[in-house]
Amino acid sequence: MNSIKPIYLSAFALLVLAGCGASKQVSNSGVTLTAISAPLNITKKAPITENDLKRWSHLDLVKDTIPGMSVDRAYSELLKNKKGVKVIVGIVDSGVDIEHQDLKSVVWTNTKEIAGNGIDDDKNGYVDDIHGWNFLGDITKENYEYERIIKNKNIVDEVTYQAAKAANDTKITDAAKGKTRLEQMLVTLNEGDARLIKHFGKPVYTIEEVKAIVSQEPEVQKSKAAMEQMLSYGMPLADLKVAVQKQLDGFNSLLQGDNLSTDYRKVVGDNPEDITDTKYGNNNVMGPDKNAILHGTHVAGIVAQVRNNQLGGDGIANNVEILTVRAVPDGDEYDKDIALGIRYAVDNGAKVINGSFGKSFSPHKQWVYDAIKYAEKKDVLIVHAAGNDAKNLDTENNFPNDSDDKVTEFADNVITIGALNFEYGNKVVARFSNFGKNNVDVFAPGVKIYATTPNDTYKYLQGTSMASPNVAGVAAIIRSYYPKLSAQQVKHILMDSGVAITTEVIVGGKPAETRSFTTLSKSGKIVNAYNALLMAEKMSEK
């Protein structure tokens, strides 16, 4: 991703948002508005409250001392008396609970299709695609790409095959070590829990109660120390046991070679190596199991859960419809599904597409590249998560991307998002977030994001998967209120109008490893809705 010179440089120059402590003033209907910039020294004045945590990405760095995107301020100060147009946002993900109380009113409906008649009324190749399309059919789990490559080395070159084989060998080594560790953890969990249940005389206890234990019995002291650690993970012990057992089962399956013998795709019935074989999947965008669409439902909620309705959290965008493309399973997504999913969203009117997925191998990456170029021709912005491996994307792979050589972009409609923590200062970068001076474009909130989950529930989740829809939401706002701006313009607005941070920050969660924030992305900035709208307003006047 080379630093492409913005097409509208002269317009951008009118609103330069400089580094820390500096700002430019913009006149809007006679009122002087000042762009937000990062103060040189700022610390949270008090611990973040639960209410603020639930919507911290909407808050303001200066006013709230939280590195949010100033969404609330944008609505109250810039959009109060404006009316936007409806924007369709494509959610290419695991599926969305379109029946959720906080999403059902914003679900896209294909008005060209007659529901339930078994006919492809709009002749787009997808029968009864009322709310989107499910390219995974009735599967929820899939192989990882390195596993598919090992099973069929003919789909890649020899170098890639050897890299996939090495990845599998590393997974097996790690699984062997992890199995021993998790088996011991389960023993400690079960023995310690049983001992403290007896000590307290009740089946459920809190970490505060454990810390308050005073006992001279060696076994109780041992259990106290162990269960303090277990409860520090922030999960109920019953849930922790299930999670550990699930991961242990996964390690055992890997060590037994199940990952190379199972063909999950067979159920779908298509040929995944043939991009012209498009007659597969179904119209059930929730898939066969609502538990498997937690990720997609959460992503959709970050963008579009109804604002100010006293339910759960608030979405970033207030004038959108969610078009669901189910293409991301538990495992690696197929290039074919992603390529067709992007084209489907584009053809059905999406102006912004969110892609909270990624992988290290991409055998048919050209199919996806072609879909990205197709979206660019149709003026569609693609917002993509940078990934959660704390690695440098200037040297490591994370597909899909918009540069085959990590230097030169082949399209200018993809924006790649790193993740921020809610704690401003040297810990502002999420410990898991990928980064890259050339291959990550900008950062946005991605730690402890509160949004919709299946069956009318809400949860905190974290990842660049959450940072990406935060930006997709801001992009949708811009495209709603300034619809004449192109996808490329919106991309550069999001990058150029962000709040610049020039301080040293911890990378990868390692206190000993600090770098200037300016080196972690192309822009060196964090997305700010208020500033973006100021810039959009100025550009729209040209």
SS3 for 359-407 is ECCCCCHHHHHHHHHHHHHCCCEEEEECCCCCCECCCCCCECCCCCCCC
**At 117, is the pLDDT very low, low, confident or very high (cuts 50, 70, 90)?**
very high
- Cα–Cα distance between 245 and 240 in angstroms, integer? 8
Q: Is it the case that residue 22 has pLDDT exceeding 90?
A: no
H or E, element range at 461: strand 457-461
Model confidence at 2, in pLDDT bands (50, 70, 90)? very low
pLDDT, mean of residues 392-415: 97
In this prediction, what percent of the chain has a pLDDT beyond 70? 92
Q: What SS3 class is residue 78?
A: coil
Q: Would you state the pLDDT for residue 339?
A: 98
State yes or no: pLDDT of 274 exceeds 70.
Answer: yes
Question: Does residue 396 carry a pLDDT above 60?
Answer: yes
Which range among 26-35, 97-106, 184-193, 219-228 shows the weakest confidence by mean pLDDT? 26-35
pLDDT at residue 14, rounded to an integer = 29
SS3 526: strand
Q: What angle do CA 80, 83, 89 make, to 5 degrees?
A: 110
What pLDDT score does 317 carry? 98
Distances from the Cα of 542 to the Cα of 10, 66, 195, angstroms = 10, 34, 72
Contact in structure between 358 and 125 (CB atoms under 8 Å): no
Q: What is the mean pLDDT of residues 86-114?
A: 98
Burial class (CB in 10 A: 0-12, 13-18, 19+), 416: buried
Q: Name the residue with tokens 């409860």.
A: 231
Q: Is the pLDDT of residue 28 over 60?
A: no
Report the amino acid identity of residue 521: S
Candidate from 3-17, 311-325, 400-414, 480-494 with smallest mean pLDDT: 3-17
Residue 233: band (very low, low, confident or very high) from pLDDT cuts 50, 70, 90:
confident
Strands (E), 6-135: 25-28, 31-34, 87-93, 132-134
Average pLDDT over residues 522-531: 97
DSSP 3-state assignment of 35? coil
Reported as a single tens digit per residue, the pLDDT across 170-224 is 999 999 999 999 999 999 999 999 999 999 999 999 999 999 999 999 999 999 9
pLDDT at 21: 31
DSSP H or E stretch at residue 500: strand 499-500
Q: 74 φ, ψ to 5°?
A: -65, -45
Confidence grade of residue 40 (pLDDT, cut at 50, 70, 90): low
Whole-number percent of the chain with pLDDT over 90:
86
Cβ neighbourhood burial of 363 (10 Å; 0-12, 13-18, 19+): buried
Query: What band does 47 get if pLDDT is binned at 50, 70 and 90?
Result: confident
Amino acid at 374: Y
Residue 5 confidence (pLDDT) above 80 = no
pLDDT, mean over the chain = 91
CA distance 37 to 49: 24
Helices and strands (DSSP H and E) totals, the chain: 16, 15
Radius of gyration of the chain (CA): 24
What's the whole-number mean pLDDT along residues 343-363?
Answer: 98
On the question of pLDDT at 16 being above 60, the answer is: no
**Residue 100 is which amino acid?**
H
**Which pLDDT band holds residue 36 (cuts at 50, 70, 90)?**
confident
